[in-house]
Every structure is written in C-alpha cells, then in structure tokens.
C-alpha cells in the first residue's frame, strides 16, 4: 500500500504545482493499492478522524505483512500527508512511520522524472 498526498490524485486543485498525474500512474502501474491523505483544506474536526483511519490501515496492513510506503510533496505543508499528525498518531500506537519518499515539483514534471524518482522506492 502506498499512502499519497491528495495532490497526486487531484493536481488540478493545486495551482502552484505541476498538473501532473504521473505519481498516481506510477504507483498504480507498480501494482500498489493507494490510500489518499486528506486535502490541505480539510477542517480540523474531520482531519483527526481521517488521520486515525489512515493509522488504522497502516497498522493493519503492517500486521498482515504488507509493505506500506508513504509519498509526500516537499512543497506542501506537512508534505501533503499531514506528516507530523500522522507520526504522532502512529507513535501513540507504537507503530513506526512507513518508509517515506518526498518529491519536488521537478520530480513530478514528467513521466520519466517521476519514474526515476520513484523507481527504487516502489520495490
């Protein structure tokens, strides 16, 4: 399973970043399932439940032997994956943060740059 920032599924909603579907396509084509993190505008009251739900999934997939990875975006607050909130929730459960790859806008600018950036990470 790969946890990804909302941006990678809805790039058209992020005006300052490339309108690029390449991360989604690369993860999908690598055979991974996807867990989408909430958008940046998520109200705090809803965010807490979403983070808890994602932590549940990370914990459950990990317990069942699945590889769980996280892909964030450097230019977004919290890497677009609410990194500090997720880390805090996982830590409270005694669960490690998944292996993480944070990308830059140049990493997602083209299909080739995305494949190069994620190639070794999506094993």
- The answer to the question of residue 77 being in a domain is yes
Domain that holds residue 57: 2-118
- The answer to the question of residue 107 being in a domain is yes
CB 111 within 8 A of CB 82: no
**Confidence at residue 71, expressed as pLDDT on a 0 to 100 scale:** 98
Torsion region of 80: left, alpha or beta (phi above 0 gives left; psi -120 to 50 gives alpha): left
Q: Choose among 17, 9, 65: nearest CA to 35.
A: 9
**Confidence at residue 35, expressed as pLDDT on a 0 to 100 scale:** 97
Q: Which residue's entry shows tokens 């996982």?
A: 90
What are the tens digits of pLDDT across the range 38-66?
999 999 899 999 999 999 999 999 999 99
Number of structural domains in the chain: 1
**pLDDT over 90 (residue 123):** no
- The answer to the question of residue 46 being in a domain is yes
- The answer to the question of residue 123 being in a domain is no
pTM to 2 decimal places = 0.94
What are the tens digits of pLDDT across the range 61-111?
999 999 999 999 999 999 999 999 999 999 999 999 999 999 999 999 999
- The answer to the question of residue 21 being in a domain is yes
- The answer to the question of residue 57 being in a domain is yes
CB 81 within 8 A of CB 51: no
Average pLDDT of the chain?
96
């Amino acid at each position: 399973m790969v946890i990804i920032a909302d941006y990678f599924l809805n790039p058209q909603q992020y005006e300052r970043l490339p309108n690029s579907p390449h991360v989604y396509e690369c993860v999908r084509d690598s055979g991974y399932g996807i867990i989408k993190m909430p958008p940046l505008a998520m109200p705090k009251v809803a965010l807490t439940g979403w983070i808890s739900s994602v932590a549940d999934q990370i914990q459950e997939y990990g317990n069942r032997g699945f590889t769980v990875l996280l892909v964030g975006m450097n230019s977004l607050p919290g890497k677009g994956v609410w990194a500090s909130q997720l880390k805090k929730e996982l830590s409270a459960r005694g669960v490690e943060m998944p292996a993480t790859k944070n990308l830059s806008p140049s990493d997602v600018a083209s299909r080739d740059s995305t494949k190069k950036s994620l190639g070794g990470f999506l094993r």
